[in-house]
Chains A and B, each alone.
Chain A
Amino acid sequence: MKKVFIFIFLLFILVPLFSKITFNHEQPLNLTNGQRIILDLEIREGFSDVEKVTIFFRQIAETAYSEKEMEAGSESNPYYSSVMSEFTGYSLTAEYYFEVKTKAGNIITYPSIQPEMNPLRITVYTPQIENDGFVLLSPDAAFSDVTDNFLIAISIFAISDEIEHNSIQVFFDGKDVTSESRIFTNALTYQVSNVKPGDHSYYVKAKLLNGSTIESEHWITSITERGFDLPLDLSGRALLSMRYMNTSHDTLDDLDKSANFLINFKGSHKWLRFKSKLYLSSLETSSTQAVNKYSLAFHVPHFDLTIGDHAPRMNSFLLSCKNVQGIHTKLDFKSFRLMYTRGNLKRSVDGKVVQDTLIHSGTFKQKNSSVRLELGNPQSFIMGFGFAKNKDDIGSLDEQYYRNLDDSLLVVAPKDNLVFGTDFRLSLMNQRLVIGTEAAMSLYNDNIIDGAICSDDSLDYDLPFDPQDFENIFVINESMIPFKPGMASIALKSYLRLFLYRNLLNISFTNIGSSFNSLSTNYLQKDAMIISFNDNLMLMNNRLALNFGFNLASDNVDDTKDNTSTSTAIFTQAMYKPNDEMYFNINFNTSGSEDGFVPDSTDFENTAIDIRSTSISFGTGYLVKQISNAPTRLSLNFSNSLNKDNANNSFEYKRNNITLSAKTEFEQLPLTTLLSFTFTLNDNSYQIVESDTTFTMKEASNYNSIFLRGEVDLIDGQLKPYLDFRYNLFSGDIDSQTAQMFNIGSSYEITTNSFITAGAGLKLYQNSDASDSDYSRLNFKMKISQKF
């Protein structure tokens, strides 16, 4: 058994090495509280071999990861990107990892080793403590019509005696608009002109007489475009995107085209509010899970109804981070809430049968019904109870797609799952201290194809009831995972969050028994005890941000295994911004997994596990204002990583990466340029076995890349054409390869509501060691967006 585990483990390690896909991810320095961020995964090699990239993400100490598919770039712009608007609400460190699915069906993750346990992390940078002395006078929801006239008026009456008036800075949508603002003794105003529909944020920054800097709350105002008068308030957005790719090489996938259409709207009429979302994709096919999504939601006082795709959250273990297509209702009162969800977690997907042979199995439709009752006030104390019922619908799949026709062997089995859960959360000290616990237990049957057993069946034991009477509730038969009273069937999570003196502390303890199963939770590591600690500290007037954390995870919760595997991860980050022009950032991560197994000299079947990953990165940046008319932001990043199998010496991967970039925003020209160099040195060694002999292979390779980009800002920012060029060179103990990539395109804001982007790219690939694999690839992308 252990051998199987090691094989799977090594497979994950080695697939990235032998696959022709290599990636790079530049981790953002930090995540400023309330700001959106775009995460990119660069596919340095093998872009055309990638079917899709999914990003899994969560706030640290959350149990489950949410996931979403990333938007593909192109061969000439080889990135998968995702706008992480979900991070906007994070106050704790964000964790994420990438899962790359190749067209050959392989799954590769980044980071490659245990990404669920050792994900990438971004510290949430909490800006200066907001000062209550700033009071927003306008817009005032009762009087201001921001669509007609967006006037920002902020009072500094309460702090006017303590503030340095000439230090006041006003920011609107991240831009310093102080020079356009009127600053009075007790207040300031900024008249926003030509405001565009959407969310706009603004805040004020100032120095106090004592030298410290204070910052106001970041206010957000939504502007909706005034359209023709309807009896109801309606707004929305439609987006059409298309992509097309053509390759000059016959042996490669020569055509890839897709189109997506998204339309969402929201509106209100008196006490009724509603919103809708419809996403249609040409990639929708009956042979995979649904790509198209739709939802229609209504809200009236105390009641919500959603029809379609929705991801409700009812306790981490009941229903969390899973899309359910069905109906969702919520009764909502001050101290009482009742949620009910009914729908499908998966739809049925036929398998593939060729000449009576099942090539790959199908998927059963998986139904879900969940209920949650919540009592109490979310501001202080709440207690919740609920259950989730998940069951595969046997009738949804033709027998030929789950059973071999020749030997009648079941290839995929329908499952039944019942989860009961309870939780409480207590918030004290104006929610600065939050403690809570979530617990759940489950019943799980991993094969219900023959239904429930009958009490008449010859069993080794007597049942006090007939299981067939309860078949609709839960199918009891020989395949049911035994319910063991105790921790094995229980999932438990306790957490504490404390925010005190600019110090954000988060501690959680999670214990998930080996027999606990929940099909309605996106990711759940079974048989695991996890302790997570994370501390985020702001010092020196918030110029220094320190983050420290560790995760400790181990299996063998029930103490039924010979060895206990333990994973530890320690991560720390320091970020220093002495002023707005300069920053220094240093990261150190170390993680490892070991099982404490010591094989004796006669045991050739089992091997020990002791794998360790260490990475350190350093980054610095400086805005050089001294360059006449061309202020340039220089940045330098260096990272070093080592992944090693200490127990068996089966692999050792070393990687050094340096990136130097210069971004210039010309003052006299509407031009922004970016120039960056990347140099990566890989030094890998790994063992291969041939004819019972083990060889150690060494492979040193380099990756050099230069990137140039220019973007012009025309017609007051409405038209932004761009041109970029990238040159990649691979060398060393691998095939010598070069890739040249050209991209040209533009975005055009036709009106404040209409937006179009289009771009074309060309990639020229050459392999001097295998010239028959040379190719050129042309791609085209276009997006049209219309708000209403």
Chain B
Amino acid sequence: MKKKILIIILMFIFAISLIAQESVGIALKVKGDVILTHKEENLKAKDGSELENNDVLESKAESFAVVKFIDGSSVIKLFPNSILTINTEKTNGKLNKRSTVKLGELWAKVTKNTGEFIVDTPTTVVSVKGTKFVLMVDENGFTDLFTLDGVVNMKNKKDNKEADVSAGQKAHSTGENEIILSVIEEGEMEGYDVPLTEILNINLKNDAGEKRSIEIELE
């Protein structure tokens, strides 16, 4: 009986480890020096690197990485001198993404209704449902959020105060007290090398089931 229980436990552990090893994202593009820490092993990230849960990406100076989550719904661009930990969970067929930015800056684009998209910073929790934003975390953990499209919810970890930050707004949080909202000033986002054009992908299917996709660049 004990032996059976032991086998079941071992199988469970094995199954858990298998699940844990599932790829959850792909590094679409890597430029410069980006370190991928996978199971305490430091590797040099490159185009096509597979990302698993708890993998850490650290971009050095003049380096960046673009990560796409495995469900195709979300893209993160990690700017130089930033540290991002990838974490996801599959629930009801959807991939809930809960990543952590310890330091640095990232740009994200999230598609609606594709599971949760949450970014933890040392001081705040940022929840997104279908939007584009830029997140900056400084050495103190203070967080700046710039919403480019849609609405992003920002919540302090200490006092649970929160604010919805709409497109064109920015928010600053130290992790406690009021979240300060203001308007993104013209030119403030300059220098962030994010796609200025939106690629709108239209998938067409004709009566024969043929698929064609049209890419439209929206400025």
A-B contact number at CB 8 A? 110
Contact bitstring A143-186, B, C-beta under 8 A = 1, else 0: 11100010101010110100000000000000000000010111
**Chain A residues within 8 Å of B198, by CB:** 142
Q: Give the shortest distance, in Å, between B27 (CB) and chain A (any CB).
A: 9
User: Is B186 engaged at the interface, CB distance under 8 Å to the other chain?
Assistant: no
How many chain A residues have a CB neighbour from B under 8 Å?
44
Q: What would be 22 A-B contacts, judged by CB atoms less than 8 Å apart?
A: A34-B210, A135-B71, A137-B28, A137-B72, A140-B68, A140-B199, A142-B198, A143-B75, A144-B28, A153-B48, A155-B71, A155-B72, A157-B71, A158-B93, A185-B21, A187-B26, A189-B50, A217-B211, A431-B206, A432-B207, A434-B207, A499-B208
A431 to B202, CA, bound (A): 15
Quick check: which of A122-130, A570-578, A591-599, A720-728 contacts chain B, the rest being far away?
A122-130
On whether the beta carbons of B209 and A499 are closer than 8 Å, the reply is yes
Find chain B residues with CB under 8 A from A185 CB. Answer: 18, 21-23
Question: How far does the alpha carbon of A130 sit from the alpha carbon of B68 in the complex, in Å?
Answer: 23
The CA of A191 and the CA of B66, in the complex, are separated in Å by 17
Q: Shortest 10 CB-CB distances between A and B: which pairs? A: A91-B208, A135-B72, A184-B23, A499-B207, A141-B199, A142-B195, A185-B22, A157-B70, A189-B48, A186-B70
The minimal Cβ–Cβ distance linking A586 to chain B, given in whole angstroms, is: 23
Min C-beta distance of B30 to chain A, whole Å: 10
Interface presence of B215 (CB below 8 A): yes
Within 8 Å of chain A (Cβ to Cβ): is B103? Answer: no
Contact residues in B for A130 (Cβ distance below 8 Å)? 209, 211
**Interchain CA distance A434-B208 in the complex, whole Å:** 11
Query: CA–CA, A157 to B73, complex, Å?
Result: 11
Closest to A127 in B: B209
Q: Which residues of chain B in 119-164 are interfacial with respect to chain A, using CB atoms and an 8 Å cutoff?
A: none
The reply to whether B28 and A430 form a contact with Cβ atoms under 8 Å apart is: no
B45 within 8 A of A: no
A140-B199, A151-B28 known; 19 new pairs, CB 8 Å cut-off, are A137-B26, A137-B70, A138-B26, A141-B201, A142-B197, A143-B66, A149-B47, A155-B26, A155-B72, A157-B70, A157-B72, A158-B93, A185-B21, A431-B205, A431-B207, A433-B207, A497-B207, A498-B207, A504-B208
Instruction: Assess whether A204 is interfacial by the CB under 8 Å rule.
Output: no
A145–B29 Cα distance when bound, in Å, is: 9
Contact with B along A29-59 (1 / 0, CB 8 A): 0000110000000000000000000000000
A137 touches B68 (CB 8 A): yes
B69 to chain A, nearest CB (A): 9
A129 and B208 CA atoms in complex are apart in Å by: 10
CA distance A222 to B197 in the complex (A): 19
For the complex formed, measure the closest distance between the CB of A234 and the CB atoms of chain B, giving whole angstroms: 17
Q: Which of B22, B50, B75, B209 contacts A140 (CB 8 A)?
A: B75
Residues from chain B with a CB closer than 8 A to the CB of A434 are 207
Does A136 belong to the interface (CB within 8 Å)?
yes
Contact across chains for A142 and B199 when beta carbons are under 8 A apart? yes
Question: How far is the CB of B22 from the nearest CB of chain A, in Å?
Answer: 4
Q: Give min CB distance, B32 to chain A, whole Å.
A: 14
Contact flags A732-765 to B (C-beta < 8 A → 1, else 0)? 0000000000000000000000000000000000
Q: With both chains docked as a complex, state the minimum distance between the C-beta of A264 and any C-beta of chain B, in angstroms.
A: 22
- Are A33 and B205 closer than 8 Å at their CB atoms? no
Whether A321 sits at the interface, judged by CB under 8 Å, is no
Q: Is A92 an interface position by the 8 A CB rule? A: yes
Task: Tell me the complex Cα distance, A160–B29, Å.
Answer: 24
Residues in B with CB closer than 8 Å to A92 are: 208
A143 / chain B contacts, CB cutoff of 8 Å: 28-29, 66, 75, 77, 195
- A186 with B210, Cβ < 8 A, contacts A140-B28, A142-B199 known: no
Residues of chain B lying within 8 A (CB to CB) of residue A498: 207
Q: Judging by beta carbons under 8 Å apart, are B71 and A91 in contact? A: no
Q: Is B171 an interface residue (CB 8 A)?
A: no
In the bound complex, how far is the Cα of B22 from the Cα of A130, in angstroms? Answer: 25
Complex CA–CA separation, A431 to B204 (angstroms):
9
Report if B95 contacts A (CB, 8 A): yes
Chain A: which residue is nearest B29 at the CB level?
A143
Given A143-B28, A151-B48, A187-B26: A129 and B209 within 8 A (CB)? yes
Q: Verify A124–B208 contact, CB threshold 8 A.
A: yes
Chain B residues touching A, range: 20 to 34
Q: Of the candidates A91, A136, A182, which one forms a contact with B210 in the assembled complex, judged by CB atoms under 8 Å apart?
A: A91
A461-487: CB near B (< 8 Å → 1, else 0) gives 000000000000000000000000000
A191 to chain B: which residues have CB within 8 Å?
47-48
> From A156, which residue of chain B is reached at the shortest CB distance?
B70
Q: Is B205 a contact of A153 with CB atoms below 8 Å?
A: no
B28 near A153: Cβ-Cβ < 8 Å: yes
Contact among A142, A157, A219 for B95, CB-based, below 8 A: A157
Closest to B201 in A: A141
B72 to A136, Cβ gap below 8 A? yes
Chain B nearest CB, measured from A429 CB (Å)? 9
Chain B residues 81 to 118 lying within 8 A of chain A, measured CB to CB, are 93, 95
Contact residue among A141, A187, A497 (Cβ-Cβ distance under 8 Å from B50): A187
Chain B residues in 8 Å Cβ range of A430: 205
Q: Is B36 an interface residue (CB 8 A)?
A: no
B77 neighbours in A (Cβ, 8 Å)? 143
- Name the distance in Å between B92's Cβ and chain A's nearest Cβ: 12
B57 within 8 A of A: no
Q: How many Å from the CB of A126 to the closest CB on chain B?
A: 6
Per the 8 Å Cβ criterion, residues 16-64 of B in contact with A are 18, 21-24, 26, 28-29, 47-48, 50
Output the nearest chain B residue to A506 by Cβ-Cβ distance: B207
Q: Which of A33, A142, A149, A431 has the most CB of B within 10 A?
A: A142
> How far does the Cβ of A380 sit from chain B's closest Cβ, in whole Å?
13
With a 10 A CB-CB cut-off, give which of B70, B206, B207, B215 has the most chain A CB atoms. Answer: B207
User: Which partner residue on chain B sits nearest A152 by CB separation?
Assistant: B48
- Across the interface, name the chain A residue whose C-beta is closest to B95: A157
A431 to B205, CA, bound (A): 7
Report the separation of the CA atoms of residues A676 and B28 in the bound assembly, to the nearest whole angstrom.
48
User: B24's closest neighbor in chain A, by CB?
Assistant: A186
CB-based nearest B residue for A431? B207
**B207 contact from A140, A217, A504, Cβ within 8 A:** A504
Residue on B nearest A190 in the bound complex, by CB: B48
Q: Is the CB of B50 within 8 A of A182?
A: yes
User: Which of chain B's residues has its CB closest to A432's CB?
Assistant: B207
* Complex contacts, A155 vs chain B, CB 8 Å: 26, 70-72
- Chain A residues lying within 8 Å of B210, measured Cβ to Cβ, are 33-34, 91, 126
With A and B bound together, what is the CA distance between A185 and B206 in angstroms? 32
Query: Is B28 within 8 A of A138, CB to CB?
Result: yes
* A-facing residues in B160-219 (Cβ within 8 Å): 195, 197-199, 201, 205-211, 213, 215
Q: How far is the CB of B36 from chain A (nearest CB, A)?
A: 15
Which of A34, A155, A189, A430 has its CB near the most chain B CB atoms (within 10 A)?
A: A155
Residues of A within 8 A of B71 (CB): 135, 155, 157-158
* Nearest opposing residue in chain A for B26, CB measure: A153
CA distance A431 to B66 in the complex (A): 36
Q: In this complex, which of A126, A140, A218, A433 has the most chain B Cβ atoms within 10 angstroms of its Cβ?
A: A140
- The answer to whether B208 and A138 have CB atoms under 8 Å apart is no
Nearest-CB distance from A187 to chain B (Å)? 5
Residues from 549 to 595 in A contacting B, C-beta threshold 8 Å: none
* Contact B22 A186, beta carbon cutoff 8 Å: yes
Give the docked Cα–Cα distance between A618 and B77 (Å).
57
Q: How far is the CB of A395 from chain B (nearest CB, A)?
A: 46
**Whole-angstrom distance between the alpha carbons of A217 and B203 in the complex?**
11
Taking each of B70, B75, B206, which has the highest tally of chain A beta carbons within 10 Å of its own beta carbon?
Answer: B70
For the complex, give the distance between the alpha carbons of A160 and B23 in Å: 11
Q: Is the CB of B26 within 8 A of A189?
A: yes
In the complex the two chains form, is B47's CB within 8 Å of A151's CB? yes
What are the residues of chain B within 8 A of A217 when measuring CB–CB? 211
> Which residues of A lie under 8 Å from residue B66 when comparing CB positions?
140, 143
With both chains docked as a complex, state the minimum distance between the C-beta of A301 and any C-beta of chain B, in angstroms.
Answer: 10
8 Å CB interface, A494-516 against B: 497-499, 504
**Contact residues in B for A137 (Cβ distance below 8 Å):** 26, 28, 68, 70, 72
Taking the nearest CB of chain B, how far is it from the CB of A436, in angstroms? 12
Q: Which residues of chain B have C-beta atoms less than 8 A from A149's C-beta?
A: 29, 47
